[in-house]
Chain A
Amino acid sequence: MSLDALTIRKDFPIFDRTVRDGKRLVYLDSGATSQKPLSVIDAESNFYRFHNAAVHRGAHQLAEEATDAFENAREIVAKFIGAKSDEIVFTKSATESLNLIAYAIGNANPGNRFHLTPSDGIVVTEMEHHANLIPWQQLSQRTGAKLSWFEVTPEGRLDLSNMASVITENTKVVALTHQSNVLGTINPLDAIVKRAHEVGAVVVLDACQSVPHTSLNVKDLGVDFLAFSGHKTVGPTGVGIFWGKSELLLELPPFLTGGSMIENVTMTSATWAPAPKKFEAGVPNMAQAVGLGAALKYLSEIGMGSISQHEKMLTSSLLTQLAQISEVKVIGPKDMVDRGATVSFTVGEIHPHDLGQYLDSLGIAVRTGHHCAWPLTRKLGVPATTRASMYLYNTQEDIDLLVTGVKGAMKYFGSK
């Protein structure tokens, strides 16, 4: 079913405003954060307005309502990714989710399946966002476990030709992104998951760039842990998701400790509540979790299939139009095979910041820089790129305006 982006835009109040002296907002930076529909803004503010109380504590009516709203959001998230409710942990961000996994693994004592020693290995890829690289670098430094990685080809794909020598019998963790936030590349998981499980390693998936854009089921993916952020899925900031298989959450030690994650406490020791509470110390970001529930409900009603299809149409149009400008170099897959609606490019000698500034003067919001994936942009020999990332509210006109803007920038910086 096709999607009418012009109708969808009416759900998002931000598109009522203009930018840079009355220009229509052309928002092509959803890879950084998405805009929010009114239903999400209302869900979050109505929580504060009508139901605010600390969840899982107190026996008064508001506490009951708040707990219901919070747990209902957990069920929506679980359903959205094909998981069980008690496998869904609310965090403050995807970054926190990934750090949670890394720190929890680092807390594992000898005898625990997650315990790491210098003879163990952690595998990442060269295309990771800093949020799925640095926690593993740090874990490697704390435990002595060896960090290794899959390289990226000049075409922007993972080089899996040396799979068996990268994921070895000693590998305990394989952490990778589902879709590159810079290149748009969607990584082939099946072979990696198969190899990781052969050697007894767990697979951690950074799904920040895939969950908002595609219908996805954790059982089909076969991974063991997954993280994504609320704010990229038309949800609020301040809420992220950590998902893990039940049997693994049972054995994984906690990361943050404190209130509501305990079973019993004495002056010298404590035992843990079962998941998900074991990983949710402190009063959580309740209003934001409720907002995320509303966001996923909103996306589900439109249909993830329709959203994917719409984004494919826009991406294909952008790639086709950019291919016709000889000065433009697309960084990453140039075709539509296994790629999402994120397109990075360079334009001749124009520095991305200058291009971004020019586009901004036309009301077009793009991201410029290394996109928090510095090792990747270094590997590909581009200090920075310009990135357009599309979502359900973008129109064909947005794409055409971007292409016109790129041509305008070439004239502006070339002729002066």
Chain B
Amino acid sequence: MELDSLYQDIILDHYKHPQNKKLATSYDAQVHHINPSCGDEITLNLTLKDGLVDCITWDGVGCSISQASVSILSDLLKGKTISQAQIIQDEFLHLMQSKGSKDGSAELLEDAVALAGVSKYPARIKCALLGWMAYKDAVVQAQSK
């Protein structure tokens, strides 16, 4: 079924068992992002340490795609340097904009390649990007501290 390319097991696993979904009490930056067309919301706390992404925690409400995507991100970027994280972000953005023509680098994206199917559904791309845009915003804020 075509729908299975969108709802891969990894996505539904992350949706049902979200990672790092508990806001840390201390952080370098806290951002709150909303998808105004659908009402999905994410709060994301970011801590940087010695040029590394030390900790990403989050809370939110939304569809399986938006929630799984931020859950995957919070695992994937932890421990990466900020520049490595940037490369991963760029790769993910390219994948989302590919209209189903790319698989994405599994080496870079790991679990996040499961979101490749989203790129065939234009209305859902912003769901998948919600957490990534929140992270992008948080890095800028944390670095300017």
Chain A interface residues toward B at CB < 8 A:
20-21, 351-354, 357-358, 361, 368-370, 374, 377, 383-384, 412-413, 416
User: Pick the contact of A357 from B6, B9, B37, B62 — CB < 8 Å?
Assistant: B6
A416 engages B63 (CB within 8 Å): no
Expressed in whole angstroms, the Cα–Cα distance for A367 and B45 within the complex equals: 32
Known: A351-B62, A353-B127, A354-B63. A21 touches B2 (CB 8 A): yes
B37 engages A369 (CB within 8 Å): yes
11 intermolecular pairs with C-beta atoms under 8 Å apart:
A353-B40, A353-B124, A353-B127, A354-B7, A357-B124, A368-B38, A369-B39, A377-B39, A383-B39, A412-B7, A413-B12
**Residue B19 at the chain A interface, CB threshold 8 Å:** no
In the complex, given contacts A21-B2, A361-B2, what are 14 additional A-B residue pairs having Cβ atoms less than 8 angstroms apart?
A: A351-B64, A352-B63, A353-B38, A353-B127, A354-B63, A357-B121, A358-B3, A361-B1, A368-B38, A369-B38, A370-B39, A383-B41, A413-B64, A416-B9
Expressed in whole angstroms, the Cα–Cα distance for A370 and B61 within the complex equals: 13
Mask for B31-66, Cβ within 8 A of A = 1, else 0?
000000111110000000000000000000111110
Residues from chain A with a CB closer than 8 A to the CB of B1 are: 361
Known: A361-B2, A416-B12. A354 touches B64 (CB 8 A): yes
A38 to chain B, nearest CB (A): 29
Known: A353-B127, A374-B39, A384-B38. A361 touches B9 (CB 8 A): no
Smallest CB gap from A353: residue in B? B63
Expressed in whole angstroms, the Cα–Cα distance for A353 and B61 within the complex equals: 12
Expressed in whole angstroms, the Cα–Cα distance for A358 and B2 within the complex equals: 10
Which range contains the number of B residues in contact with the other chain? 20 to 34
B2 engages A20 (CB within 8 Å): yes
Residues from chain A with a CB closer than 8 A to the CB of B63 are: 351-354
Expressed in whole angstroms, the Cα–Cα distance for A205 and B121 within the complex equals: 37
A373 to chain B, nearest CB (A): 10
A97 to chain B, nearest CB (A): 23
A380 to chain B, nearest CB (A): 12
Known: A383-B61, A413-B12. A357 touches B3 (CB 8 A): yes
Smallest CB gap from B1: residue in A? A361
Residues from chain B with a CB closer than 8 A to the CB of A383 are: 39-41, 61-62
Residues from chain B with a CB closer than 8 A to the CB of A357 are: 3, 6, 121, 124
Known: A351-B64, A413-B12. A361 touches B3 (CB 8 A): yes
Residues from chain A with a CB closer than 8 A to the CB of B121 are: 357
Mask for B93-133, Cβ within 8 A of A = 1, else 0?
00000000000000000000000000001001001000000
Smallest CB gap from B41: residue in A? A383
Residues from chain A with a CB closer than 8 A to the CB of B41 are: 383
* Pairs of residues from A and B, 6 with the lowest C-beta to C-beta distance, nearest first: A353-B63, A351-B63, A370-B39, A369-B38, A361-B3, A416-B12
Residues from chain A with a CB closer than 8 A to the CB of B37 are: 369
Expressed in whole angstroms, the Cα–Cα distance for A383 and B3 within the complex equals: 24
A-facing residues in B16-34 (Cβ within 8 Å): none
Expressed in whole angstroms, the Cα–Cα distance for A370 and B62 within the complex equals: 12
Expressed in whole angstroms, the Cα–Cα distance for A384 and B66 within the complex equals: 14
Residues from chain B with a CB closer than 8 A to the CB of A352 are: 63
Smallest CB gap from B67: residue in A? A351
Smallest CB gap from B6: residue in A? A357
B38 engages A370 (CB within 8 Å): yes
B129 to chain A, nearest CB (A): 14
B127 to chain A, nearest CB (A): 7
Residues from chain A with a CB closer than 8 A to the CB of B7 are: 354, 412-413, 416
Residues from chain A with a CB closer than 8 A to the CB of B62 are: 351, 353, 383
Smallest CB gap from A372: residue in B? B37
Expressed in whole angstroms, the Cα–Cα distance for A361 and B6 within the complex equals: 11
Expressed in whole angstroms, the Cα–Cα distance for A413 and B12 within the complex equals: 8
B10 to chain A, nearest CB (A): 11
Known: A20-B2, A361-B2, A370-B38. A353 touches B12 (CB 8 A): no
